[in-house]
Amino acid sequence: MKDSVSARQLETHVTRLAGEIGERNVFRPEALAAAARYIEEEWRRQGYAIERLAYTARGVESVNLEVTRTGHPSPDQILLVGAHYDSVAGSPGANDNGTGVAALLELSRLFAEASPGRSLRFVAFVNEEPPFFSWGSMGSMVYARAARKRGDDIRLAISLETLGYYSDEPGSQRYPPFFRFFYPDRGNYIAFVSNFRSRSWMKRAIGAFEASSRFPVESVATFELVPGVGWSDHLSFWRQGYPAFMITDTAPYRYPHYHSPSDTPDKVDYSSLARVTDGLRGMLALLVEGD
């Protein structure tokens, strides 16, 4: 791997997506296409061959984008990292999910010349937000169904979702009912969230993250119906029987600008985002080497 995680480059990505392109979804198809082009340009610059996986949603061409660093000696075993690049209607989507895409692009850059044991696949998903979330035209649903049909050996799928807001203020972190009795009241950590079936993979990932970073981390493996637990692209992989989990700053349980017009690039903590991304880089470097 080359270089290090750049807070400035993360900010550049978020500013381009949320500050210049802005709200991007099927209701603003030109902006959605512009975001896809930006991701493609970045991946071409990094030296990747890009797979464009297009389909139509509400009459609009929608594209999942994929690049892969092929593994050796286990090329068929895939560790997938994904983030959605659309934003909800009415929001420029800086934190949700410009930060996830920014981390995805930085991670792909850092692994562009790596020689992993397993294949490392990066995917930018379209149409995660309503009205598509949880339904058949959700980008990751389309992707995961096709992967299962092909027989892709996805050992783990990781969803990067809303990664850029942190606070040391008491009471800055909220939770679904009863969780507050077991977790901190300060929103200064990154969270790993899985269902019970994916718990063992998540625990391995947390161990790898903690071996690579001192950034605080909390985790939960619980029922999929708990509000927030399935609220991203990992849900699509659960439905296809793949192990998957989400990495998040907990989004609406912490971020006051969630799904609002004020979710702008100036709200993001780029220093913390860089520390989290660097921890993810170290985590992936360990996970792709196998058992």
- Over residues 65-92, the pLDDT tens digits come to 999 999 999 999 999 999 999 999 999 9
Phi, psi of 120 (to 5 degrees): -110, 115
Q: What is the pLDDT of residue 2?
A: 53
**Taking the domain 7-287, which CATH number applies?**
3.40.630.10
Phi, psi of 252 (to 5 degrees): -65, -15
In this structure, are residues 127 and 136 in contact, taking their beta carbons and an 8 Å threshold?
no
Q: What is the pLDDT of residue 291?
A: 61
C-alpha to C-alpha distances, 150 to 66, 76, 235, nearest whole angstrom: 15, 12, 19
Q: What is the pLDDT of residue 3?
A: 73
Report d(CA 246, CA 226) in Å as an integer.
14
Q: What is the pLDDT of residue 4?
A: 84
Q: List, in order, residues 6 or more apart from 257 with CB less than 8 Å away.
A: 95, 263, 264, 267
Comparing C-alpha atoms, which of 98, 108, 24 is closest to residue 270?
98
Comparing C-alpha atoms, which of 289, 273, 235, 268 is closest to residue 107?
273
- pTM attached to this predicted model: 0.97
